[in-house]
Amino acid sequence: MAALGPPLQTLRGLLRELRRATGRDGHPYRQTPAYRHIMAAFRSHRVTSEKLCRARQELHFQAATYLCLLRSVREHAALHQEYHGKGERSPEEVAGLVGFRLPQQPGGKG
């Protein structure tokens, strides 16, 4: 895995993905148990002058991994929605999907 970004950037990414995942049902995402859990975990693992939190890097790594999972699931669902289950397609449509054009027949046919 690449280097971890700042924890605040990871937190914002998690909340963005959570908002996208739960924004469809009409309920605010801040009232979900997932939001409360994420915020409580980040608040309890921040470093203060009174304590040195050894698990901070571990939490950050787990949060970044979970963020990667959420993004991948969302992108997979979008790809699945776009390319799956369209039924039988014509050769012209299939060629257009992959970026090709079928050759034209001489005499104006096709």
pLDDT tens-digit readout, 24-78? 666 788 888 888 998 998 888 776 656 665 666 788 888 899 999 999 999 999 9
Least confidently predicted of 11-15, 46-50, 98-102: 46-50
**Helix, strand, coil shares, percent, the chain, to 5:** 65, 0, 35
Cα distance between residue 92 and residue 89, in whole Å: 8
- Would you list the domain boundaries of the chain? 7-98
DSSP symbol at 89 = -
CB 21 within 8 A of CB 78: no
Q: Which residues contact 41 (CB under 8 A, 6 or more apart)?
A: 59, 63
Q: Give the separation between CA 109 and CA 58, rounded to whole angstroms.
A: 65
Per-residue pLDDT, 101: 85
For residues 14 and 38, the answer to whether their CB atoms sit within 8 Å is yes
Cα separation, 110 vs 40, whole angstroms = 63
Give the chain's mean pLDDT.
82
35-39, 53-57, 82-86, 91-95 — most confident range = 35-39
72: alpha, beta or left? (left if phi > 0; alpha if psi -120 to 50): alpha
